[in-house]
């Protein structure tokens, strides 16, 4: 079925038709809230303002009405680099889409314009500056337009961090096309920005669809770094996200380079991305991230705006972001497909000091400085929190979550608190007695009563706080200082030497008038124990190989066309194939994410893969089998493996047989025997043996073929 959008009587388009497109083109069976409401509004010719979290499903809100209404839907987006991907993804579903931007040659642009004029497009993506050119506007005025979709609408906000001057000019659309419905969409807009969007885009009559900000599939985890943060990161990736795509954020270019190189050395596909790299290299790394499986990008915040990859399984921060806005935006790049994803962060004393110093050294005007201060406090507050992180995050953005979420580290492993009043008094007092001129290391040495030249030179071995801190370890005191800085009881000097000074807020604590309860540092960094099983919850035992095989099939089809793997099918669609095991094209069509075009193009290929792995057939490989398999892959033969492992040759053969059965090895890799001989053995197995009992075949072959060989051949024959 082709949707050419040539519906004449606009008012008669019903939601039933929209549902039909949803199923046949996109392969989904129902709208998510509020998609249906938004679509109904546009089909009726009204305007809409849509605020939905990342991954909520904004695109369908304008794509489906563009296909159903007469004319072409114009999508305004600032993200030129993304347009090709958006168009490719739509074409995979058989939607007639294209884009116009400065990355195209004049010839390419002409071709798109001609297609447009012939009414061959349902969707056209354009950059705002392009759209606003008098020539483009004049061309569009002569054509039927289904709607204008203004994506990333918060770019009109002069106070936001993504301001685009051209966006302000988009109010023209309302004047020049008064009867064309407009929809503005964003994932990041507080109340003030929302009002600005309405005013600047003249959307006073738009129906508003405001969803919460919550991203329930993202698990928030913040760990105090203990020892090396990189090691901690490596452990996290290896244990919880092996072979998965992720983003690691660092503050500086230097650190990006270091971390990427180090992860590469550990055998991971990690690529650096920062503003200091050539354009070409950045482009290349981004492409690999999008197109290959399991690439990890190590980046400064320069990476990410407009990254539309749905299957980013984790976002890790090796440095503290400057604000909760930045944290939420960066972590929001995980799990757009709605499957479980991790937002993981490691932070330590040095992070806190660096950020406090940057803030102290800020040359911004006083009122901006106050805002910066407030933002950093909120970020540090989130780190030191002992209650649900999601509740706090959402509250910051003006969204209320009634109950603790159950999917953040503080919910999963509630941190203990302790009465730190006395220890804090000692720590603060030590700052005071040493003249508010020293950094954490020195202060801790004084508290612990360390013999030290410097301390003696300053006479600090004679002050009252010298040696009064033996009840805590060195690292516990450092943690305490970090918390005192984070809570704003201590400030960091302007000169950047890391000297601590008492703040106003510290007085009542110092005088013992205000008790202080702090988060107890857990001996082991918080870890989501069930995370691994959770992210693969759709896989039964033995399904791992099928999962791998489906991913390989997807990768092969994607490489042939030079598109990212997720454009063939999302992870969620593959997972559903494993759960449902469709055995025919009809059953395949019922899988979420399989529309008509993809069913025609890829259905058979995936059915083939599924048939190779019937349910329950795959043997869960035991460690000992894997040991054998590894050695075999290294080129050792049965006798050598048996000798090295001190096992019987027949045991090794049994291991290899189970690998063949599970599809890990092909028979000819293990047993190089002539085809005729093989046919003879197969014949004997088929006619003279029963199930696993090989005796009949052994005798039929007059004992010339060993049981070991028989077992290997039998394994290659599957269900007999
Ligand atoms: P956003 O632009 O809001 O970040 P997208 O439009 O990219 O979100 O959609 C996020 C994901 O959700 C995509 O993988 C999309 O295919 C999927 N999706 C959207 N609507 C539906 C639906 N009604 N049913 C199932 N999946 C959907
Ligand atoms: Zn929680």
Collapsed DSSP state (helix, strand, coil) of residue 221? strand
**Tens digit of pLDDT for each residue in 478-511?**
989 989 988 889 988 867 678 899 999 999 999 9
pLDDT of residue 528: 47
The CATH code of the domain at 218-347+387-399 is 3.40.50.300
pLDDT of residue 620: 46
526: which DSSP letter?
A: -
Of 6-15, 133-142, 629-638, 660-669, least confident by mean pLDDT is: 6-15
- Class of the CATH-defined domain 536-717: mainly alpha
pLDDT of residue 4: 44
Q: Residue 31: CB within 6 Å of ligand 1?
A: yes
Of 109-118, 436-445, 667-676, least confident by mean pLDDT is: 667-676
pLDDT of residue 701: 87
Closest ligand by atom to 82 CA:
1
pLDDT of residue 209: 96
The CATH code of the domain at 10-210 is 3.40.50.300
**Tens digit of pLDDT for each residue in 13-61?**
899 999 999 999 999 999 998 999 999 999 999 999 999 988 889 999 9
Confidence at 638, pLDDT banded by 50, 70, 90: confident
Collapsed DSSP state (helix, strand, coil) of residue 546? helix
β partners of residue 182: 148
CA of 411 to the centre of ligand 2 (A): 4
Q: Which positions ≥6 away from 153 have C-beta within 8 Å?
A: 49, 167, 184, 185, 186, 189, 197, 201
Domain ranges of the chain: 10-210, 218-347+387-399, 417-519, 536-717
Residue nearest to atom 13 of ligand 1 (CA): 337
**Tens digit of pLDDT for each residue in 573-596?**
998 898 889 999 999 999 999 999
CA of 693 to the centre of ligand 2 (A): 56
Burial 142-181 (b: 16+ CB within 10 A, else e): eeebbbbbbbbbbbbbeebeeebebbbebeebbeebeebb
Distance CA 44, CA 206 (A): 12
Confidence at 623, pLDDT banded by 50, 70, 90: low
pLDDT at 529 > cutoff 50: no
Q: Residue 618: CB within 6 Å of ligand 1?
A: no
What average pLDDT does range 160-178 have in this prediction? Answer: 90
Confidence at 525, pLDDT banded by 50, 70, 90: very low
Closest ligand by atom to 391 CA:
2
Q: Residue 54: CB within 6 Å of ligand 1?
A: yes
Q: Are 251 and 264 in contact (CB under 8 A)?
A: no
CA of 337 to the centre of ligand 2 (A): 21
Confidence at 188, pLDDT banded by 50, 70, 90: confident
What average pLDDT does range 224-251 have in this prediction? Answer: 91
Q: Which two tokens stand for residue 599?
A: 């069913």
Of 128-142, 525-539, 583-597, 644-658, least confident by mean pLDDT is: 525-539
Confidence at 520, pLDDT banded by 50, 70, 90: confident
Task: Answer with the residue of higher pLDDT: 371 or 516.
Answer: 516
Q: Are 344 and 316 in contact (CB under 8 A)?
A: yes
Q: 């002992």: which residue's tokens?
A: 386
If one residue of 55, 57, 62, 334 were mutated to test the ligand 1 pocket, choosing by the most ligand atoms within 8 A of its CB, it would be: 57
pLDDT of residue 694: 80
> Whose CA is closest to 325, among 122, 187, 139?
187
pLDDT at 77 > cutoff 80: yes
Of 203-212, 241-250, 622-631, least confident by mean pLDDT is: 622-631
Distance CA 83, CA 125 (A): 7
The CATH code of the domain at 417-519 is 1.10.10.10
**Tens digit of pLDDT for each residue in 544-568?**
789 889 999 999 999 999 999 999 9
Task: Answer with the residue of higher pLDDT: 471 or 357.
Answer: 471
Q: Residue 27: CB within 6 Å of ligand 1?
A: no
Entry pTM? 0.75
pLDDT at 631 > cutoff 80: no
CA of 221 to the centre of ligand 1 (A): 25
pLDDT at 534 > cutoff 50: no
- Residue 91 sits at φ, ψ, to 5 deg, of -65, -30
pLDDT at 318 > cutoff 50: yes
Kindly report the CA angle at 326 between 322 and 332, in degrees rounded to 5? 145
CA of 490 to the centre of ligand 2 (A): 28
Does 10-210 match 218-347+387-399 in CATH topology?
Answer: yes
pLDDT of residue 21: 97
In the chain, the percentage of residues whose pLDDT exceeds 70 is 92
What average pLDDT does range 328-349 have in this prediction? Answer: 92
CA of 183 to the centre of ligand 1 (A): 17
Query: Rounded mean pLDDT of the chain?
Result: 88
Q: Residue 595: CB within 6 Å of ligand 1?
A: no
What average pLDDT does range 412-435 have in this prediction? Answer: 93
**Cβ neighbours around 637 below 10 Å, total:** 13
pLDDT at 305 > cutoff 80: no
Residue nearest to atom 23 of ligand 1 (CA): 31
pLDDT of residue 643: 79
pLDDT at 614 > cutoff 90: no
Confidence at 657, pLDDT banded by 50, 70, 90: confident
Task: Determine the atom of ligand 1 nearest the C-alpha atom of 52.
Answer: 3
699: which DSSP letter?
A: H
Query: Cis ω on the peptide bond leading into residue 34 (within 30° of 0)?
Result: yes
pLDDT at 11 > cutoff 80: no
* Helix/strand/coil (H/E/C) assignment for every residue in 607-631: HHHHHHCCCCCCCCCCHHHHHHHHH
Helix axes 623-633, 649-661, angle to 10 degrees: 90
Q: Residue 570: CB within 6 Å of ligand 1?
A: yes
């Amino acid at each position: 079925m082709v949707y050419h959008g040539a519906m004449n009587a606009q008012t008669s388009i019903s939601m039933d038709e929209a549902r039909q497109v949803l199923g046949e083109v996109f392969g989904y069976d129902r709208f998510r809230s509020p998609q249906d409401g938004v679509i109904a509004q546009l089909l009726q010719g009204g305007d809409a303002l849509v605020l939905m979290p990342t991954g909520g499903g904004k695109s369908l809100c304008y794509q489906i009405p563009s296909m159903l209404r007469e004319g072409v839907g114009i999508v305004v987006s600032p993200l030129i680099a993304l347009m090709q991907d958006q168009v490719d993804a739509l074409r995979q579903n058989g939607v007639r889409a294209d884009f116009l931007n400065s990355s195209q040659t004049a010839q390419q642009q002409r071709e798109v314009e001609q297609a447009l004029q012939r009414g061959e497009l349902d969707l056209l993506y354009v950059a705002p500056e392009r759209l606003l050119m008098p020539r483009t506007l004049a061309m569009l005025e002569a054509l039927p337009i289904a709607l204008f979709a203004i994506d990333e609408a918060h770019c009109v906000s002069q106070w936001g961090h993504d301001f685009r001057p051209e966006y302000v000019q988009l109010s023209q659309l309302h004047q020049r096309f008064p009867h064309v419905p407009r929809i503005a969409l964003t994932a990041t807009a507080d109340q003030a920005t929302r009002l600005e969007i309405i005013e600047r885009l003249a959307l006073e009559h738009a129906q508003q669809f405001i969803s919460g900000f919550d991203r329930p599939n993202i698990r928030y985890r913040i760990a105090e770094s203990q020892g090396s943060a990189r090691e901690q990161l490596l452990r996290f990736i290896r244990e919880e996200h092996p072979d998965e795509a992720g983003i690691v954020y660092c503050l500086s270019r230097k650190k990006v380079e270091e971390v990427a190189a180090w992860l590469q050395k550990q055998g991971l596909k990690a690529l650096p991305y920062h503003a200091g790299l050539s354009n070409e290299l950045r482009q290349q790394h981004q492409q690999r991230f999008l197109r290959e499986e399991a690439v990890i990008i190590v980046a400064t915040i320069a990476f990410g705006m407009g990254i539309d990859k749905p299957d980013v399984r984790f976002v890790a921060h090796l440095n503290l972001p400057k604000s909760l806005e930045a944290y939420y935006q960066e972590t929001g790049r995980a799990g757009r497909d709605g499957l479980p994803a991790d937002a993981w962060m490691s932070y330590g004393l040095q992070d806190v000091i660096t950020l406090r110093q940057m803030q102290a050294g800020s040359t911004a005007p006083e009122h901006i400085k106050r805002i910066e201060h407030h933002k950093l406090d909120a970020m540090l507050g989130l780190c030191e929190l002992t209650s649900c992180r999601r509740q706090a995050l959402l509250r910051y953005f003006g969204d209320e979550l009634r109950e603790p979420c159950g999917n953040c580290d503080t919910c999963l492993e509630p941190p203990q608190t302790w009465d730190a009043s006395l220890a804090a008094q000692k720590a603060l007092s030590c700052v005071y007695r040493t003249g508010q001129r020293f950094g954490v290391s020195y202060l801790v040495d004084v508290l612990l009563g360390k013999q030290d030249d410097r301390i003696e030179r300053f006479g600090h071995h004679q002050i009252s706080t010298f040696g009064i801190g033996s009840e805590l370890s060195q690292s516990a005191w450092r943690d305490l200082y970090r918390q005192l800085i984070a809570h704003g009881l201590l400030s960091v000097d302007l000169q950047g030497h890391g000297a601590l000074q008492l703040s106003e807020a510290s007085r009542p604590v110092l005088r013992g008038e205000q008790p202080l309860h702090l988060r107890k540092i857990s001996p082991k960094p918080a870890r989501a124990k069930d995370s691994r099983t959770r992210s693969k919850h759709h896989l039964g035992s033995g399904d791992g190989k099928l999962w791998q095989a489906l991913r390989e099939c997807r990768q092969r089809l994607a490489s042939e066309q030079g598109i990212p793997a997720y454009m063939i099918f999302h992870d969620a669609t593959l997972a559903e194939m494993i759960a449902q095991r469709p055995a025919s094209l009809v059953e395949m069509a019922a899988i979420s994410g399989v529309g008509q075009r993809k069913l025609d193009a890829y259905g058979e290929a995936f059915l083939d893969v599924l048939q190779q792995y019937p349910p329950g057939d795959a043997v869960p490989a035991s460690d000992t089998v894997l040991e054998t398999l590894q050695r075999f892959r290294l080129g050792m033969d049965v006798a050598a493996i048996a000798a090295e492992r001190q096992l019987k040759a027949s045991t090794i053969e049994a291991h290899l047989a189970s690998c063949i059965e599970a599809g890990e090895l092909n028979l000819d890799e293990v047993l190089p025997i002539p085809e005729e001989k093989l046919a003879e053995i197969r014949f004997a197995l088929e006619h003279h043996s029963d199930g696993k009992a090989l005796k009949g075949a052994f005798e039929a072959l007059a004992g010339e073929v060993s049981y070991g060989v028989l077992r290997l051949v039998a394994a290659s024959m599957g269900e007999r």
